[in-house]
Structure 1
Amino acid sequence: MNRVLNILLIEDDTIEVMKFNRVLSTMNLKHKIIEANNGEEALTILKVKEIIPDIIILDLNMPKINGIEFLGMLKADDYLKYIPAVILTTSNNRKDVLECYRSGVAGYLLKPLKYEDYVELIKRLIEYWSCNEFISR
C-alpha cells in the first residue's frame, strides 16, 4: 500500500520547484511538500523538527550550502542521518556522483531535458519511496 509522504524539496530554481509540484499534483496523492531554497534553509527546517520528512530531494548546485555540503551535515546528525536523500540534478559529473554516494545518498537522478521524461522520472521516484519502510523517529 502506498503511503503519503512528507517530502523536503531543496531547490533554488523556482521553475524546477513549480515543475516538481505540477507532476505531484497530477498523481492525485496527498504528499506534503516542504520547500527550501538552499541547504541552509533546509537545515533550519530540519532542526525545528516540526515536520520530519520521509525523504529529501535536493539539487546539487545551490547558493549558501550546496547539495554535497548539505549531505555531509545531514549524515553527521544522529537524528537526521536516516532520512533518505535523493539528488535530482543536471550534473552528470563523475566526481559529484562519487562524492554523493560516499556521503550516503540514497539515489542520484539526472533531470531529463524533455518534460515528458521528467514527469515519468518523478512519478517513478515517488512511487518507489511511497512503498518503502522508513525508520521511525
Structure 2
Amino acid sequence: MYSSVTAPVDVLLVEDDPADTLLMQEALATRPGRHRLHVVRDGVEAMDFLLCGGSYSSAPRPALILLDLNLPHMDGYAVLAELKADEHLRSIPVIVLTSSKAETDVVRSYASHASAYITKPVESERFTEIMRKIDTFYLSVVKLPRAG
C-alpha cells in the first residue's frame, strides 16, 4: 500500500551548477505543495544547513538530501562522511546525483551509506523525468523518518 505525504517535505539540494539547480527546481515545481526545496552550493554550506550553523540557525531538518559529489570547498564524500557519522542526521536518505559514471564513485558512494546513486543525464527531458521519479518514490512510496 502506498502512503502519500500530507504536509510538504523539506528537501535539501546540494548542487553548485546553476543550470542543474534550475532543472531540478523546474522538475519539482510541477508537483507543488509536496516539498520545500532548499538549495546550498557547496559541502560547507550543506553542513551549516544540516547543523543549523551560521545563517542557517533556523534551517529545518530535511527529510531527503540530493547531493552532488563534485563540490567546491568540501566534496560530496566529505559531506556523506560527516552526515553519516552524526547520530541525529544519519537516518536522512541521501541520493547522490552526479555527472560521474565511474564505478569507483558508485562503489564509494554506497560504501559511504548513500541511499541511491544516479548519474545526471545530459538531456533535460530525461533529467526532468528522473527528478519526477525521485519525487514520486520518496514522497509517495517511501516512509521517511520524522524530523527530530
Same fold (TM over 0.5): yes
Q: Report what 1:59 is aligned to.
A: 68
Structure 1: which 5+ runs fail to align? none
Q: Report what 1:25 is aligned to.
A: 29
Distance 1:27 1:52 in 2: 21
* 1:85 aligned residue (94, 119, 124): 94
Structure 2: which 5+ runs fail to align? 53-57
Q: Report what 2:12 is aligned to.
A: 8
Q: Report what 1:44 is aligned to.
A: 48
Q: Detail structure 1 runs of 4+ shifted over 4 Å in the superposition.
A: none
Distance 1:58 1:108 in 2: 10
On the 8 A contact 1:2/1:127 being kept in 2, the answer is no
Q: Deviations over 1:3-34 (max 9, x none)?
A: 13210000001111111101111223441011
Shift of 1:2: 2.3
In the superposition, the TM-score normalised over structure 1's length comes to 0.95
Root-mean-square deviation (CA), in Å? 1.2
Size of the aligned set, in residue pairs, is: 137
* 2:82 aligned residue (73, 78, 81): 73
1:58-137 equivalent positions in 2, closer than 5 A: 58-131=67-140, 132-136=142-146, 137=148
On the 8 A contact 2:10/2:63 being kept in 1, the answer is yes
Distance 1:36 1:20 in 2: 13
Shift of 1:87: 0.5
Letter in 1 for 2:121: P
Residue identity (%) = 29
Other structure's SS at 2:12 match? strand
On the 8 A contact 1:7/1:33 being kept in 2, the answer is yes
